[in-house]
């Protein structure tokens, strides 16, 4: 399963109720190993974007930076990356030794190098930096590339990097978690008179067994490999959701920006000195989610003009403006993210968790 914790949901600047963008995705193995329950201590996770003060937000959760496996940065705008040097510095000071993978635009590496050079910052752990530009270097026309991150022999992440459209190069990350386990055919064992003993555990662990009477049991004859696959798309800033059409076909969940309503976007573009921020409106992402037949949609990255409450009667811009516009065009499962809102994604459903 996957657990999502929103660490920041504001666009551009923080507010009193929202920090700038960051999302933690805990990648949990519900099977554990050899039939044992999953370990509560083994919770590798992915951080998508790292706005300023993300590490402060983490301190208010139960998520450990020591288990952070991958950081993905969608684009170079500050509300998505200014918190990165501070987070890495704190990880270094807390004694982290495990290597860390960063998937990001090349400019993020230059940003980190500049901070290291000017502040004597030192990382006692290895950083594998995967430049997004390098992934597309020989295949410019390709819309996406995939990076594989093995978490264990039975637990794998495949992170597909997808081109979006924004004022700077921006990307989405389609995170596919594959967890494998070996399921024991208990009915067959009972039918053949094999009593529940340590032999069952050895068979489930993939080992052949010799019974006290000399009989041989081959693991392959009494087990079946089962894979559980979950797919979540987390998009960076983007004014063209249609770029996610192919990726969305089998996605369990889409997390996307809805910076403002269509009316606000139209007002911005009607000015004489109009400057296109190149963000997605609530109407546009709702229309896309409907056409793509997405079952689950979480919206985030809201303009600071919107107050956090939901009141359709209020004359002050608030989250009801976003919600009502989305509901005109999309009837699937919808959530408007708030800081520290948590979700669980399984092969059956997406549900909000109680904090």
Burial 7-30 (b: 16+ CB within 10 A, else e): bbbbbbebbeebbbbbbbbbbbbe
Is 79 a catalytic site residue? yes
- Separation of alpha carbons 88 and 101, rounded Å: 12
Which stretches of the chain are assigned E, i.e. beta strand? Answer: 2-8, 22-27, 45-50, 68-72, 100-104, 127-131, 144-152, 155-163, 171-184, 209-210, 216-217, 223-235, 253-257, 296-300, 333-336, 342-345, 350-353
From 49, 79, 237, 321, the catalytic residue: 79
Per DSSP, the residues of 183-241 read EE-HHHHHHTT--SSHHHHHHHTT--EE-TTS-EE-HHHHEEEEEEEEEEEEE-S-S-G
Sign of CA dihedral 310, 315, 321, 324: positive
Give CA–CA dist 49/81, Å, rounded: 6
For the annotated catalytic residues, the residue numbers are 79
């Amino acid at each position: 399963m996957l657990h999502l914790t929103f660490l920041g949901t504001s666009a551009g600047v923080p507010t009193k109720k929202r920090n700038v963008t960051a999302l933690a995705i805990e990648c949990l193995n519900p099977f554990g190993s050899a039939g044992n329950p999953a370990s509560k201590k083994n919770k590798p996770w992915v951080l998508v974007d790292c706005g300023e003060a993300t590490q402060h937000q983490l301190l208010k959760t139960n998520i450990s930076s020591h288990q952070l496996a991958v950081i993905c940065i969608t684009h170079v705008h500050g509300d998505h990356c200014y918190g990165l040097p501070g987070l890495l510095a704190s990880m270094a000071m807390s004694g982290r030794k495990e290597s860390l993978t960063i998937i990001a635009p090349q400019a993020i590496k230059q940003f980190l190098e500049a901070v290291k050079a000017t502040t004597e910052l030192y990382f006692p752990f290895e950083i594998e930096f995967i430049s997004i530009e390098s992934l597309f270097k020989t295949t410019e026309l390709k819309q996406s590339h995939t990076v594989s991150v093995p978490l264990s022999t039975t637990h794998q992440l495949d992170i597909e990097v997808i081109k979006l459209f924004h004022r700077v190069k921006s990307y989405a990350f389609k995170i596919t978690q594959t967890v494998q386990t070996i399921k024991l055919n208990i009915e067959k064992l009972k039918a053949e008179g094999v009593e529940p003993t340590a032999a069952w555990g050895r068979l489930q662990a993939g080992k052949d067994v010799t019974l006290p009477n000399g009989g041989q049991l081959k693991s392959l004859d009494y087990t079946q490999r089962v894979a559980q696959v979950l797919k979540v798309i987390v998009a960076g800033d983007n004014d063209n959701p249609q770029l996610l059409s192919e990726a969305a076909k089998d996605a369990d969940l889409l997390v996307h920006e809805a910076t403002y309503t269509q009316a606000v976007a139209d007002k911005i573009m009607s000015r004489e000195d109009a400057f296109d921020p190149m963000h997605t409106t609530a109407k546009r992402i709702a229309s896309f989610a409907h056409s793509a037949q997405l079952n689950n949609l979480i919206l985030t990255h809201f303009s600071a003009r919107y107050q956090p409450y939901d009141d359709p009667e209020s004359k002050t811009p608030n989250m009801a403006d976003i919600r009502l516009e989305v509901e005109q065009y999309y009837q699937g499962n919808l959530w408007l993210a708030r800081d520290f809102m948590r979700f669980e994604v399984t092969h059956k459903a997406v549900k909000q968790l109680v904090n």
